Structure 1
Amino acid sequence: MQNTDFKPKAFLFDLNGTMINDMKYHADAWHSIITEKLGLNISYADVKKEMYGKNEELLVRLFGENHFTPTEVENISIEKERRYQKTYLPTLALMNGLHQFLAKAKDTGIKMAIGSAAIPFNIDFVLDGLQIRPFFDTIVSAHDVKLSKPDPETFINAAIALGIKPEECIVFEDVPKGVESASRAGMKCFVLTTTHNREEFDNFDNILGYIADYKDPILTHLF
């Protein structure tokens, strides 16, 4: 059941699938890189299942430890992101209602952060491409943590940087491992239903509600 009683002091946003609806473009880029460039015979559906955490973690899950040198991992990662950005750029846009939601939060004095497993190259692509960087007080990227989601480090680091207690934060996420990360950080969460079905979140007790976008009336109760 959706909860409208909690009044937060900070909003922490995942990026891909949460602020922008771009996961298909990531899956397309990863599948083409992995099958065409790296020669692994894997289905599109199985690639999508591995799309969480850092790029290097995905490569380890698919190819094993030490299959690529650190330089090779970096080059593969950058090439994948360039393919993603090239195809997604023509339709780059915030989720419906998000710009107004960010502006209202800023006016209300709610602090905001991005906590993402994306590399800075992709985060900058979104923030600068959509000119929304001034809304955010801090950014935690893949380069800022040792362990990515579902480890809580991403969201804990964001809360520390904002100077807000974890229990006073609300996380916006779209995947179960992100919700798990928020739960382990001691944070409540709203789930964007962009990439996963509600049934996939049944095991979590930190979810305040499910929203299709940021125009959902339930969000008005947060201010």
Structure 2
Amino acid sequence: MSVTATVAKKIDAVLFDLDGVIIDSNKAIISAWLTTAEEYGYSFTQAEVDRYIIGASHLFTLDNLFPDRSDSEKKVIHSKVDQREEEAIYRTIDGVEKFIYRLRNFDVKVGLVTSSWPEKIKNVMEQHNLNFDCIVCRNDVQRGKPDPQPYQLAMEKLAIAPENCLVFEDSDNGIYSAVAAGANCIAVKNDHFSHIPYIEDFNQLCIDDSEFSYQLANANKGIAIRPL
């Protein structure tokens, strides 16, 4: 799917989710939750995984999938899941490192907005030598995705208006969060939303001086989506 627009949208900041957008981590996340859940006698359907685990805050997941457990038990469950995720090795989504590197040649801010936590983020950043102008993680907000608060906070930190932000998200919860915050959004490996453009990976994107749909700040170049 490609974006069609007569006037390109001006973009001053590009914000990325982490899991499923920068790193291919969905399998590790799902495994961490399901393995831990089995220890407590739970099993979940694929629909429950999609709705309550992928792209969601840990509080959202715990409240919906472990509603009968006490707060102290939820804390232990969460700790076990975190430990399993922190020990994982992650590969990046195809083309994303090159795309971020290219963005650094222009006057746009690059931010990370994730439901992950500092220890995991640090591990990923060191694994792949990444850095961002702004990082918002689960520790920074009271209400995680699908609530808009994480993206609203990132925009506030970067002093960027929502209409001038472009967000890359993979999960339904993350897309809900970005759209509710007023940002432009491109979905990664998610074609559930007919009104939102999507890409299979970042090799489908190009930055050039013609036929772009998102104009990079103070530049005559922009972001375009190549058709599959």
Q: Where on the TM-score scale, by shorter chain, does this alignment land: which range? A: 0.7 to 0.9
**Partner of residue 188, structure 1:** 184
Preserved CA contact (<8 Å) 1:27 1:44: no
Change in 2 beyond 3 A, CA 1:175/1:39: same
Gaps of 5+ in 1: none
Q: Distance in 2 between matches of 1:170 and 1:106?
A: 15
User: Which residue of 161, 170, 184 corresponds with 1:165?
Assistant: 161
Q: Deviations over 1:118-170 (max 9, x none)?
A: 1222222211221102xx11111111111111211110100110111111000
C-alpha distance in structure 2 between counterparts of 1:25 and 1:45, whole Å = 17
Deviates more, 1:149-158 or 1:95-104: 95-104
For 1:167 and 1:45, locate their aligned partners in 2 and report how far apart those are by CA, in whole Å: 32
Q: 1:123 aligns with which of 99, 121, 124?
A: 121
Structure with the higher fraction of residues in strand conformation: 2
**Number of residue-to-residue matches in the alignment:** 207
Q: Distance in 1 between matches of 2:118 and 2:136?
A: 9
Secondary structure of 1:80's counterpart equals helix
Cα–Cα, structure 1 residues 219 and 49, in superposed 2: closer, same or farther, change >3 Å? farther
Determine which structure has the larger helix proportion and give its number. 1
Quick one: structure 1 residues 79 and 11, their matched pair in 2 at CA, closer, same or farther if it must change by over 3 Å?
A: same
Secondary structure at 1:170 match in 2 = strand
1:112 aligns with 110
d(CA) in 1 for partners of 2:47, 2:28? 14
Structure-2 change in CA distance of 1:38 and 1:44 (3 Å): farther
Q: Calculate the TM-score normalised by the size of structure 1.
A: 0.84
How far apart in 2 are the matches of 1:78 and 1:33? 10
* 8 A contact 1:30–1:47 mirrored in 2: no
Q: Relative to structure 1, is the Cα distance of residues 173 and 219 closer, same or farther in structure 2, using a 3 angstrom cutoff?
A: farther
Q: CA RMSD in A?
A: 2.0
Q: Do the aligned partners of residues 94 and 79 (structure 1) sit closer, same or farther apart at CA in structure 2, a change above 3 Å counting? A: same
Q: TM-score, normalised by structure 2?
A: 0.82
Q: Distance in 2 between matches of 1:218 and 1:74?
A: 43
Please give the residue correspondences for 1:89-168 in structure 2 after superposition, counting only pairs within 5 Å.
Answer: 89=89, 92-133=90-131, 136-168=132-164
**Match of 2:66?**
63
Change in 2 beyond 3 A, CA 1:155/1:25: same
- Secondary structure, aligned partner of 2:202: coil
Q: Does 1:16 align with 2:45?
A: no
| Whole-Å separation in 2 of the counterparts to 1:141 and 1:155 | 10
- How far is the alpha carbon of 1:219 from its aligned partner? 5.1
The secondary structure found in structure 1 opposite 2:49 is helix
Q: Does the CA-based 8 Å contact 1:2-1:210 persist in structure 2?
A: no
- The runs of 5 or more residues in structure 2 that have no matched partner are 215-221, 223-228
